[in-house]
Chain A
Amino acid sequence: MENSRRSFLKIAGISALGLGTKPVLNVFASGENSEKREAEIQKNPAALKAKRWAMVIDTRKYESEEDLKPIVEACNKIHNIPKHTNKRHEIMWIWFDEFKYVFTNQEHEFVDDRVKHLPFLVLCNHCEKPACVRACPTKATFKRDDGIVLMDFHRCIGCRFCMAACPYGSRSFNFRDPRPFIKEENKEFPTRMKGVVEKCNLCAERLAVGKMPACAEASNGAIVVGDIYDSESEVRKLLKNNYAIRRKPELGAGPAIYYIV
């Protein structure tokens, strides 16, 4: 709400400055009167919408790191994620790790062989109650109404409070200029600059133009993204028919990434 009010005020301000004083909202009232119309901002009608986005990862549908690499690669490529040579400066949006690291509280000695050796995808959990958003002093990281937790790189001051707050280790910081470490730039998506935090954005830029997240697209059906409040959605059907787990549910952050094991 606050956002739309804010941009409304700004647009209204622009109109007032240069081109007449009528507020934007008059557009709707005056359309028929064939008066001069005011500028307005619309959503793309093709955009994919959800009450709350969620992701289900069906870990039965892949076997090895080789199956996951194309998924990670797809994300890295379209989001201009640098490949740093120094491990300290590493940037990761989506990656994979062993069960005992991903599910630290559910690991035991006698976990069956498949799960023990299977790599698990790790990414931002787009929490219901994100600790990072609570911690950010500038609202540079924020939760959208549809549940996606996003970064505004223009606003981030690089205090890294969100990184300390995130219980999943999903955030990365640009310890240096990432550009020299990006082999092939995707011109459709910006890079980042040194000194800001970044993380998975659930491909908000793709959802806005009607495309599914890149990882889901590259996963051969192992990753499904959809509206968890829509009982007809594919994510809900998967959750209805399969037992799924989440990372560190005891923290109450409400992660939106589900794993069918």
Chain B
Amino acid sequence: MLELAIKGSKKYWVWILGLLTIIGIAFIVYLWQLDFGLGITGMSRDVSWGFYIAQFTFLVGVAAGGVMVVLPYYLHDYKAFGKITILGEFLAIAAVIMCLLFIIVDLGQPMRLLNVLLYPTPNSVLFWDMIVLNVYLLLNIIVGWNVLEAERNNVHYPVWIKALAIFSIIWAPAIHTVTAYLYCGLPGRGFWLTAILAPRFLASAFAAGPALLILLALIIRRTTKFDPGKEQIQSLAKIVTYAIIINVFFFLCEVFVVFYSRIPSHMSHLQYLFFGFHGHGALVPWMWLSITLMVTAIVLLVIPATRKNETVLAGACVCVFAGTWIDKGLGMISGGFVPNPLHHVTEYIPTVPEVVIALGVWAAGFFVLTLLFKIAVTVKEEVSGV
């Protein structure tokens, strides 16, 4: 089926070339980072993880979110999603690839990456994260590809694929749970040291992933002859609605515990993010924007009239995606490092080269996503004979 990816319209090729250009530029900047070291980023002794790891965290969520179309179909036999499970699986593949790339660009000595396998260390959560991510990637490639191929050949997919699909449904929450465990088991970081972190991650993942899927489905409908379907989009919208409400609820639980108990080492991080701390508050406007976006999205999604209007729905999905991205992709990581263990404040602002490299990884992800969606959509068009 790969050949389907190299037959496209002019617009398709312009898009592909655009992505390749961004990847190329980012790669050159990455070579510079490789030569100079991570000093070209805004990270520091105090904020030792930044934009890269934050993007990684957010994208693990997007990858896990893909399961929200796979689960109703395979477990509840919700037939309508059969049409679009492949989109969820292919989105997961692209997202996991981005995750792995973000880990690699964040390493100080990337050529020693295989040390993680040479000296396997089960007490390190990073070891498990490597396993869950790679297995999830593999599962989605195998399931997605085989189901699509079966559809193309007009046969039913084999039984063992269904078994793998169900396995991947269990696996999806695992990838984000393990990713949350990277942070929430660290003794000295009050912001992350909370049992609600993994549930919060999952809630925002199940909001952001399906929200992106809705947007992608709308784009596919406009640009191709394949219609993912009105019912499907509405069902996804309901999933997004519940997930984003739960996400905000979990966040408020955290806010209550932190501000009612008033333990400084837990409170100072939220203070820094939302009100500024000792005169530092680079992220304050962003965090409030994030809250505003999420609340707006909830209002638009809860009211049936606005949810059913696909233009408004698209707007709400942009709000969900942007709101959760700011929350996880900006606040979650540097928020945990400010103030530092000695309660000094060192702020973190990503540098231009850092943002360019991150954009390159996103472009690489969208490149993979475009190829995969192109293949999927072409197969769908072939099968329906339009």
A–B in direct contact per CB < 8 Å: yes
Chain A residues in the interface with B (C-beta under 8 A): 86-92, 97, 100-102, 104-105, 122, 131, 134-140, 155-161, 163-169, 172-177, 194-197, 248, 251-253
Q: How far is the CA of A251 from the CA of B186 in the complex (A)?
A: 10
Q: What's the dominant secondary structure at chain B's contact region?
A: loop
Q: How far is the CA of A139 from the CA of B112 in the complex (A)?
A: 13
Q: Which residue of A lies closest to B38 (CB)?
A: A175
| B345 vs chain A, min Cβ distance (A) | 11
Interface-side segment among B73-81, B102-110, B281-289, B373-381:
B102-110
Interface-side segment among B9-17, B119-127, B159-167:
B119-127
Does the CB pair A248–B188 fall under 8 Å? yes
Chain B residues in the interface with A (C-beta under 8 A): 36-39, 41-46, 48-49, 103, 106-110, 112-113, 115-116, 118-119, 121, 123-127, 130, 182-183, 186-189, 264-265, 336-337, 340-344, 346
Does the CB pair B344–A157 fall under 8 Å? no
Q: How far is the CA of A30 from the CA of B77 in the complex (A)?
A: 73
Q: What's the dominant secondary structure at chain A's contact region?
A: loop
Q: Which residue of B lies closest to A131 (CB)?
A: B187
Does the CB pair B108–A161 fall under 8 Å? no
Does the CB pair B121–A167 fall under 8 Å? no
Task: List, sorted by A's number, 18 A–B pairs whose CB atoms are closer than 8 Å.
Answer: A86-B39, A88-B43, A88-B45, A100-B343, A136-B121, A136-B124, A137-B116, A138-B112, A138-B115, A140-B119, A157-B107, A157-B110, A165-B186, A168-B341, A173-B38, A174-B37, A175-B44, A195-B108
Q: Which residue of B lies closest to A167 (CB)?
A: B188
Does the CB pair B115–A195 fall under 8 Å? no
Question: Total A-B residue pairs with C-beta atoms closer than 8 Å?
Answer: 151
Does the CB pair B342–A102 fall under 8 Å? yes
B124's partner among A137, A173, A197, A253 (CB-CB below 8 A) is A137
Does the CB pair B342–A169 fall under 8 Å? yes
Known: A101-B344, A163-B48, A165-B186. A195 touches B119 (CB 8 A): no
Which of A100, A122, A195 is packed against the most chain B CB atoms within 10 Å? A195
Q: How far is the CA of A169 from the CA of B36 in the complex (A)?
A: 24
Does the CB pair B115–A161 fall under 8 Å? no
Does the CB pair A253–B48 fall under 8 Å? no
Q: What residues of chain B lie closer than 8 Å to A165, measured between beta carbons?
A: 186-188
Q: How far is the CA of A226 from the CA of B289 in the complex (A)?
A: 54
Does the CB pair A166–B107 fall under 8 Å? no
Q: Which residue of B lies closest to A103 (CB)?
A: B342
B42's partner among A88, A105, A159, A160 (CB-CB below 8 A) is A88
Q: How far is the CA of A166 from the CA of B119 in the complex (A)?
A: 21
Does the CB pair B44–A167 fall under 8 Å? no
Q: What residues of chain B lie closer than 8 Å to A248, measured between beta carbons?
A: 188
Q: Which residue of A lies closest to B37 (CB)?
A: A194
Does the CB pair B45–A173 fall under 8 Å? yes
Q: What residues of chain A lie closer than 8 Å to B121, measured between beta carbons?
A: 136-139
Does the CB pair A175–B43 fall under 8 Å? yes
Q: What residues of chain A lie closer than 8 Å to B340, measured between beta carbons?
A: 169
Known: A134-B123, A135-B125. A101 touches B108 (CB 8 A): no
Q: What residues of chain B lie closer than 8 Å to A134, measured between beta carbons?
A: 123-124
Q: Besides A88-B42, A157-B109, A167-B186, 18 other CB < 8 A contacts? A: A88-B44, A100-B343, A101-B342, A104-B265, A136-B121, A136-B124, A138-B121, A140-B115, A155-B115, A158-B110, A160-B106, A163-B48, A164-B183, A164-B186, A165-B186, A167-B188, A175-B41, A248-B188
Q: How far is the CA of A158 from the CA of B357 in the complex (A)?
A: 18
Q: How far is the CA of A122 from the CA of B49 in the complex (A)?
A: 22
Q: Which residue of B lies closest to A133 (CB)?
A: B123
Does the CB pair B107–A135 fall under 8 Å? no
Q: What residues of chain B lie closer than 8 Å to A177, measured between beta carbons?
A: 37
Q: How far is the CA of A90 from the CA of B130 in the complex (A)?
A: 30
Does the CB pair A253–B39 fall under 8 Å? no
Does the CB pair A158–B341 fall under 8 Å? no
Q: How far is the CA of A90 from the CA of B342 in the complex (A)?
A: 16
Q: What residues of chain A lie closer than 8 Å to B115, measured between beta carbons?
A: 137-138, 140, 155, 157
Does the CB pair B189–A175 fall under 8 Å? no
